[in-house]
Structure 1
Amino acid sequence: MRNRNLAIALVSAAAAVAASTLIAITPASASANYYLATTEQVSNRVLVWNRNVSWTDANLYWQFTPGTTGGTWQNLSDVKIRATDAHGTIALVAASGGKAAIVDVKAGKKKATTSDILWQATPGGNPHAIERIPGNGSVVVASSNGYLTLYSPTAVSKPSTLAKVQTISLKGAHGVLYDPTHKYLWAIGEGRLVPYSITGSGRSTRLTARNGYISLGTYRNSAGETKPNLGHDLQASYTSKSTLFITHTSGVYSVDTWTFRTTKVSGTTRVKAYVNHSGGERAWVRGDNTGRRTWGSPTVQFFNSAGTATSTKTRSGAEFYKVRVWSTAFE
């Protein structure tokens, strides 16, 4: 994006305040064969189901378990599915306890454990999101305590060579997403959505914030104080390459990546994850503000392309935090 367009876009944004054989590389069509990945924090597993089946263990399509509900692996907070030349389909996972990892998703194998991990690190700081830079092999983790951590390899095909090369301050960092259209990385945190340029290769890879960011606006808290909205989720739209979906304190918004204009999708609060499938269906997880994990919910809510609520999937006793379209595509 050119700097001139970026500057113009920032004015608009401020005024508006928004695989392998296992599965195809592009988003699945809207049918009984589309799958959703969830992070479920009570059992502490990544659970993947067909959208239309009963969400029971018997119907699980794939799962990842670190084998513990405590320590640095507790409270799995993010999962993304990506494609690699060397290892086929991988799952990127992050846990609020402090861990981040690349997991080998072996075709035909329904359950992955820590023995299937290709690389792991402990960036700490309550990791909330993870992303991989294609062709470069670098991995970025967003930690809500206020920073991004960049890990880069000496060999793209060998995740075991990844090492920390950069830490970037971003208050309230909650989401990261690679944008193949503009070829930069988006990150969302407190009060802002920031695009980062990616330069270099190998251990010389670096992220540099571009000249500007999208303001997330403000809200008034219960004490009457004006505070910046805290960004929660950041996801691609599988129906538009120029659109991102974000959630923050005040609701759900779409973002035009060319103009930086934001548009309100919903004023519903506490939406922790929001996805848009290629067939137009949408889904979210909304923190129910009850129980031990007030930020989670046993229910995933579905909507049609017009935003009308249509159906739900509920798993008794579960606490879902993230929901993701099971696809290796970036957009």
Structure 2
Amino acid sequence: MKRRNLLRAAAITAPLATVGIAGGVGVALADTANFKVMLTEQVQNKVMVFDKNSSFSDANRYKSFSPGGGGWYNLSDCRIRDTAEFGAIGLAAASGGKVGIWNITSEKDQELNDVLWSASPGGNPHALERIPNVGAYVAASSDGYLTVYGPTAVSKPSTLAQVQKVTLAGAHGVLWDPNNKLLWACGNKVVKAYSVSGTYRNVRLNATSKSVALSGLGHDLQPDYGDSGRILVTDTYGVYAINKSTASKTRLHENTRIKSYFRTSTGEYIWIRGDNAGSRDWASPTLRMSATADRTRSGAEFYKARRYATAYN
């Protein structure tokens, strides 16, 4: 069986489960087989949101975020989270050096003037996550560390300031685990879990005993929306499911160069595989889907894909 068919077959046999529904400005209020995906596209350097069942054309664009160049060059991560003050906000990291959050307004397109906060953690930022209730954010930089930012008030992201740096070789992904109140992070040959202590400017990450060995450099860390008891991680050599309680690992696929990967609550797998071609060989113009026709945008270079919903799992 070809590798591509392995991915599709896994989706057919995967058990199904439901996840919570999250609202917010511009966020779909139903979790169905026809939902929206958000992607980092590095040629135009935009976060783009499309209905996954429609062509990825400009006419079908649901939302976008265009921060410009400079430190925002080569957007490497995107996701949305819910806040009491602003509703849904977008989170982004860029290999050019910036991380930040933007306000998802009722307008179709957001730009740099919609940014609520940004920082330059250094070291090729690859991911940004929000820790709820304390309003803290954690960035992963591939040069080898996690950077923690804490506010003086949850409702005032403009007060965020760096409060901690944690060494993690090859740091690429971060994901909050609301069930176990842990922050998971992937790096070079490892996935680690951190507990969180303190609030606001006193928030700190603390390493736990939960650590999972990988075969290569960890690339992406995302929820399994069909199973809240596990998370999904990709590395240089494959895709794995990690049981959050036992920290045990199960290999799902041996596909290489998988840069982004998640499973929906309906059991469909969605991924991006670096095509090893062109000036951005780590990216691809095509979003792969196990139960839906693939979507290709001519001239695009997609790096990360996310389910367009604010739920953590």
Q: TM-score, normalised by structure 2?
A: 0.91
Question: Which aligned pairs between 1:137-286 and structure 2 lie closer than 5 A?
Answer: 137-217=135-215, 229-286=216-273
1:62 equivalent to 2:63? Answer yes
Task: Spell out, residue by residue over 1:129-164, the C-alpha distance to the aligned partner (whole angstroms, 9 max, x if none).
Answer: 000001110000000010000000000010001000
Equivalent in the alignment of 1:91: 90
**Counterpart residue identity of residue 160, structure 1:** S
Q: Distance between the aligned counterparts of 2:33 and 2:210, measured in 1?
A: 36
- The alignment partner of 1:115 has SS state of helix
Q: Distance between the aligned counterparts of 2:225 and 2:32, measured in 1?
A: 10
Report the RMSD for the aligned CA atoms in angstroms. 1.1
Task: Spell out, residue by residue over 1:4-53, the C-alpha distance to the aligned partner (whole angstroms, 9 max, x if none).
Answer: xxxxxxxxxxxxxxx3242247x72213xx00000000000000000111
Check whether the contact 2:220–2:261 (CA below 8 A) recurs between aligned residues: yes
Equivalent in the alignment of 2:51: 50
Q: Distance between the aligned counterparts of 1:292 and 1:233, measured in 2?
A: 21
**After the TM superposition, which of the residue ranges 171-180 and 253-262 deviates more from structure 2?**
253-262
**Counterpart residue identity of residue 23, structure 1:** V
- The alignment partner of 1:211 has SS state of strand
**Counterpart residue identity of residue 88, structure 1:** G
Equivalent in the alignment of 1:76: 75
Check whether the contact 1:282–1:303 (CA below 8 A) recurs between aligned residues: yes
Task: Spell out, residue by residue over 1:85-143, the C-alpha distance to the aligned partner (whole angstroms, 9 max, x if none).
Answer: 0110000001000000110001x311000110110001111000000001110000000
Unpaired runs of 5+ residues, structure 1, are 1-18, 218-228, 305-309
Unpaired runs of 5+ residues, structure 2, are 1-22
Aligned length: 291
- The alignment partner of 1:81 has SS state of strand
Task: Spell out, residue by residue over 1:282-319, the C-alpha distance to the aligned partner (whole angstroms, 9 max, x if none).
Answer: 11000000100010000011114xxxxx5210011100
**Counterpart residue identity of residue 48, structure 2:** L
Equivalent in the alignment of 2:6: none
The counterpart of 2:112, out of the listed 111, 114, 135, is 114
Check whether the contact 1:246–1:255 (CA below 8 A) recurs between aligned residues: yes
Task: Spell out, residue by residue over 1:211-254, the C-alpha distance to the aligned partner (whole angstroms, 9 max, x if none).
Answer: 2411113xxxxxxxxxxx10000000111110101000110111
1:28 equivalent to 2:24? Answer no
**Counterpart residue identity of residue 39, structure 2:** T
Check whether the contact 2:28–2:308 (CA below 8 A) recurs between aligned residues: no
Task: Kindly state the Cα deviation for residue 192 of structure 1 after the two structures are TM-superposed.
Answer: 0.6
Check whether the contact 1:24–1:328 (CA below 8 A) recurs between aligned residues: no
Check whether the contact 2:171–2:185 (CA below 8 A) recurs between aligned residues: yes
Task: Spell out, residue by residue over 1:37-86, the C-alpha distance to the aligned partner (whole angstroms, 9 max, x if none).
Answer: 00000000000000111111111000000123xx2110000001100001
Task: Spell out, residue by residue over 1:152-178, the C-alpha distance to the aligned partner (whole angstroms, 9 max, x if none).
Answer: 000001000100000011000000000
Q: Point out the structure with max Rg over C-alpha.
A: 1
Check whether the contact 2:25–2:104 (CA below 8 A) recurs between aligned residues: no
1:321 equivalent to 2:308? Answer no
Task: Spell out, residue by residue over 1:181-235, the C-alpha distance to the aligned partner (whole angstroms, 9 max, x if none).
Answer: 1001000000110000000001110001102411113xxxxxxxxxxx1000000
Q: Distance between the aligned counterparts of 2:107 and 2:122, measured in 1?
A: 30
Q: Distance between the aligned counterparts of 1:160 and 1:23, measured in 2?
A: 24
Equivalent in the alignment of 2:15: none
**Counterpart residue identity of residue 292, structure 1:** S
Q: Distance between the aligned counterparts of 2:274 and 2:284, measured in 1?
A: 5
Q: Distance between the aligned counterparts of 1:21 and 1:103, measured in 2?
A: 12
Equivalent in the alignment of 1:100: 99
**After the TM superposition, which of the residue ranges 312-321 and 203-212 deviates more from structure 2?**
203-212
- The alignment partner of 1:216 has SS state of strand
The counterpart of 2:278, out of the listed 291, 297, 302, is 291
Check whether the contact 2:140–2:174 (CA below 8 A) recurs between aligned residues: yes
Q: Where has structure 1 moved over 4 Å in runs of 4 or more?
A: none
Q: TM-score, normalised by structure 1?
A: 0.86
Check whether the contact 2:84–2:155 (CA below 8 A) recurs between aligned residues: yes
The sequence identity of aligned pairs, in percent, is 49
Task: Kindly state the Cα deviation for residue 260 of structure 1 after the two structures are TM-superposed.
Answer: 1.4
